[in-house]
Amino acid sequence: MGARVDFASNGGTAMGYLAVPESGHGPGVVVIQEWWGLVPHIEQLCDRLAAEGFVALAPDLYHGATTGEPDEAMRLMMGLAMNTAAADIAGAAQFLVSHNAVDGRGVGVVGFCMGGSLALWSASLSPLIVAAVGFYPALPWARMDATWGGYDGKSAQIHCSEEDGTSAADGIQQAFAGIQAAGGDVEVFDYPGTQHAFVNDTRPEVYDDAAASQAWQRMLELFRGRVTA
């Protein structure tokens, strides 16, 4: 089990959920929430990463707000200031590399839905993030003014649902081309028959165990190869 922690962000303080492996140390990974906020599902994903040997930190991008209602989630997401979210993610990455439990000088980042877009974008902004994984990224890149220029020498994965249009969707193609053009390595995976949020096992109406397991293992393989001491 992890615990809530505070960390420096943009001249102030932000909060997050930190999970540490039983060994007491490991590579660092930032976990970015869905549009629901820092809910128990995201904390559980941090715990799963810790069980795999990673020190995982999920920053609370809504600063205390959570919801289970789609309309309220949409309101929270649309009200999220992208520069503030970027500062919180960068602060989380800095917190990890400075933590005595974290091995290495770079971290990974993974996000889901809204967080999938933010995770991919954040690797173009923070030099501390060396590998990014986006699950069914949902935010339009125009909201982030994504230019992808900081991806040289970094790696990315994008996991796409069929419901969202697979890897053929314009937003996925834009990210893929931008990361490659910037000098990054990027892999894109499609999961036939899946719905958006197919990794979220708290939502049985969309959860796909086979696809979620395969995508999770691919993510672990990337992080184990790139986020090392």
Q: What is the mean pLDDT of each run of 10 residues along the chain (229 residues)?
A: 91 95 96 98 98 97 96 96 94 96 93 97 95 95 88 97 97 96 97 98 97 98 87
pLDDT of 26 reads 96
- What are the domain boundaries of the chain? 3-226
pTM to 2 decimal places: 0.97
Residue 165's Cβ-count burial label (10 Å; 0-12, 13-18, 19+) is middle
Cβ neighbors of 71 (< 8 A, separation 6 or more) are: none
Q: Distance between CA atoms of 24 and 102, rounded to whole angstroms?
A: 9
Q: What confidence score (pLDDT) does residue 5 get?
A: 96
pLDDT attached to residue 228: 73
Report whether 16 contacts 46 (CB < 8 A): no
Superfamily of domain 3-226: Alpha/Beta hydrolase fold, catalytic domain (3.40.50.1820)
**What is the structure's pLDDT at 147?**
85
Could you please report the per-residue DSSP string of 90-144? HHHHHHHHHSTTEEEEEEEEEEETHHHHHHHHHTTT-TTEEEEEEES--S-GGGT
